[in-house]
Structures are given as C-alpha cells and as structure tokens.
Amino acid sequence: MQSISPRVRALAVSQTLAMSQKSAELKAQGADVINLSVGEPDFNTPRHIKDAAIKAIEDNFSFYSPVPGYMSLRKAISDKLSRENRLSFAPEQIVVGNGAKHALCNVIMATVAPGDEVIIPTPAWVSYMEMVKLAEGTVVEIPTGLESDFKLSAEQLENAITPRTRAILLCSPSNPTGSVYSREELQAIVDVLARHEQVLVIADEIYEHIIYTGGDFVSLGSFAEIADRTVIINGVSKAYAMTGWRIGYCAAPVEIAKAVSKLQGQYTSGASSIAQKAAEAAYTGPQDCVEEMRKAFQRRRDLVVRLAREIPGLKVNEPQGAFYLLPEVSAFIGLSTPAGKKIENSGDLAMYLLEEALVATVDGNAFAAPGYIRLSYATSDENLTEAFRRISDALGKLK
Ligand code: PMP
Ligand code: GLU
C-alpha cells in the first residue's frame, strides 16, 4: 500500500465529474441514462474556431508556448475585457491556464497562506472549497437559501469578515444556483468590501454570457472601489462550447499575475499551443454563436422551471443565468423507495434517481447545499422532457 499525502487525502473527489463518469459507465453497460450531472454545453465548437486550430497545426504551433500564454491571446483577452466588461487589464496582468479551473487554483495557491480565511457564499461550485483546502486555507462558508434567491447580503458578508480574511470568492451567474447579482446587489457587497482593504476579490465570471436578465452582465471588476484588488476568472469553455480545449485565464493585479506565472512555470508550463490559437479566434471572431447558444439555454431554462414546478414537493427558483437548476428536495427526505430503502438525505435521493429513473444529477452536498440536488439543463429539449417525466414518476413512487 502506498501512503498518500494528507493534502490529497483530505481532498474530496469532484462529484460533478464522478457522477458524469458513473453515468457514462452505466450507459456503456447499455442503460438508457440521461446525464444531467456534469455542466457543459452540448453544442459543438463553432466552425471558425475549429478552423483556427487546424490552421495552428498546419502553421506548426507545436512548440512550448510562453508560460502565461501567447501575447496575441493575452492581447485579445485584454481587448475583450475592455470591450465587453469595461475593465482595464494590460496583457501583462493576464495569465492563460488549462481552463478556468486551473486559473482559479493558480490564484488561490498564489495568494492564500495556511490559515488564511477565504469566504465562499454557498451553495458554491464543488471545486472552490477543495482548492482552498489544497492551499491549507480555511473555508468560511456563508449559507444562503431559496428565500434570498441564494444571494449573499451585505450584512452577512460584513459579519463574516475577520482580520484573517484573505479573499472572497464570488460567482455570478452562479454554478450551481443560476443566480445573477444585479448592479445594486453588487454595489451593496462592494460597499462592504471597500471597508476591508486586505480582502482580495476573486470573481468567477465564466457564465457571463449565459444570462437571462435581459440586461447587461455586470463585472465585479468594474467597481472602482475594489478594482485594484479584484481578480477575474474566465475562459472559453462555456461561452464558446470549448470545455475539452482547456483554456481559461486570470486577470489580476500584476504581482499576482507574476506569482501565478511562476507557479505555472514549475507546475504545468504554458497551456496547449493549438487550443490557445483556437481561443484567440473565439475572442476575435464573430460572436453570433454566443448569442445563439444563450437563446437555446434560455428556452431550456423556461422548460425545466415549468417542468420542475409541476412536480409536487420540488421547490425551485427561476435561475437568471448559467445552465443549472438546484431544486430543494427536503419533502422527499425520510420517505422510502418501493424496495423499502429509506431516503436519508439528498445524496440518497440523487442515487435513487439514477437507479430508478436513470437520470444522473448531483447531490447538493457537493456544493455545500444539503437538501438540494443539482441538474444541468445543457441538453436537448427532448432529453429534458423525458428526464423530468422519469423524475416525476420516480418521486411519485416514494412513500
Ligand atoms: N467555474 C465554474 C463556476 C464552473 O462551473 C466551471 C466549470 N467547470 C469552471 C469554473 C471551470 O471551467 P473550465 O475549467 O472548463 O474553464
Ligand atoms: N463546471 C461543470 C460542473 O460543475 C463541469 C465539471 C467540473 O469541472 O466540475 O458540472
């Protein structure tokens, strides 16, 4: 038996990826599973982006890329941040990594010291808490629920900040809740943060384009009070249907960008040269594909909210962004399956739905949201309609 380091032993397995893997295995065995577990666009990468990657191969972009990314890509990102988000980041402040996940982990590893507190409003994406643990920081969760549309209030934030607070991690539009903070709600949070200069603000804006508010997306980096200590995390996975290409970035104060680059130089080197050229085409090329996909997600959002609300006992908000639904399922906890097994928690319920309804979801516990399950609706209308029919049947059998 090999001994594994305490650092990695303490880490939880990524439940989004684990559930997706489990559903793929069941499918391979012939089971007709509908996978609503992992969150990734079901669209193919747009043609002009694929063409740019093919050209990059032909043009021999086959050598190591600079650690923080090609200058041409960092310029394209700098222009994008200025054009779309009215943010001013020089290319030197941008470090491209292997996906937004890697970019975020880089920033946490570069800024969080052992014992530093990192505030995470929950429900929150699975990897946030684990990344902070990896850096030996202390996670300070601020729980929110359906009643506040899962949004953190200024008062909750003020109460959570201590002299040890090093950073806050905010995600809007949110995975897993779909909530989107309005400009006014962000301003209230910024007013609190403005009083606590030691707090680094990490804004995960990977879902910025998948938004149904009818208004413009507001970046946390656009508030002058905190702009010089805000780090933006973003990437091409969600907006351009490029999850497998693995390109994301951080835009940060220059000392943090340098530290991230140093870390990345020892840890992974520059991201894939071909994928970087594809990402450059995504940022500089036509943007209609982004709007087309957004529209499809909005139609599906309407569909799943309607279907979920038809099921007695499921409680849902109306998500304003991303492509997740987080139903509250406490009405089913304590009931028994037809086989006589008691549903003790939301994890049991997710497992029951997988086995009985052949629908893969994720237990809310993975997102620090016990009593909820998460569904990704980034799949076809037919799949969604059939999945909800099965979920309704299976829940109806609980006694
Ligand atoms: N942040 C959030 C909130 C996400 O849902 C994801 C999706 N996996 C990521 C970051 C990371 O995206 P990627 O690594 O594919 O760029
Ligand atoms: N962000 C997606 C999800 O939450 C992808 C899986 C992952 O990286 O966790 O399902």
Pick the ligand that lies closest to the CA of residue 14: 2
What is the average per-residue pLDDT within 73-91? 97
* Digit-coded pLDDT (tens) for 137-160: 999 999 999 999 999 999 999 999
Q: 38 CB under 6 A from ligand 2?
A: yes
List the one residue out of 268, 254, 261, 217 whose CA is nearest residue 239.
217
Give the pLDDT band (50/70/90) at residue 324. very high
Give the pLDDT score at 141. Answer: 98
pLDDT tens-place string over residues 120-132: 999 999 999 999 9
Mean pLDDT, residues 355-379 taken together: 97
Nearest CA among 233, 224, 223, 227 for reference residue 172: 233
CATH assignment of 6-44+289-396, among 1.20.1090.10, 3.30.200.20, 3.90.1150.10, 3.40.50.1980: 3.90.1150.10
Q: What is the pLDDT of residue 22?
A: 86
Ligand nearest to the CA of 39: 2
Both tokens assigned to 58: 């032909």
Domain ranges of the chain: 6-44+289-396, 47-284
Confidence of residue 19 (pLDDT cuts 50, 70, 90): confident
Report whether residue 210 contacts ligand 2, using a CB cutoff of 6 Å: no
Query: Does 75 have pLDDT greater than 90?
Result: yes
Rounded Cα gap, residues 316 and 326, in angstroms: 7
Residue with the smallest CA separation from ligand 2 atom 2 is 39
User: pLDDT tens digits, residue range 185-232?
Assistant: 999 999 999 999 999 999 999 999 999 999 899 999 999 999 999 999
Record the pTM: 0.97
Is pLDDT above 90 for 97? Answer: yes
Give the model's pLDDT for residue 379.
Answer: 97
pLDDT at 1 over 90: no
The reply to whether 6-44+289-396 and 47-284 are identical in fold is: no
Question: Could you tell me the fold of the domain covering 47-284?
Answer: Aspartate Aminotransferase; domain 2 (3.40.640)
> Would you say 373 and 326 are in contact if contact means Cβ atoms under 8 Å apart?
yes
Asked whether 16 lines ligand 2 (CB < 6 A), one says yes
Burial of 315 (0-12, 13-18, 19+ CB in 10 A): middle
- Which of these ranges, 22-26, 190-194, 313-317, has the smallest mean pLDDT? 22-26
Mean pLDDT estimate for the chain: 97
Report CA(147)–ligand 1 centroid distance (Å): 26
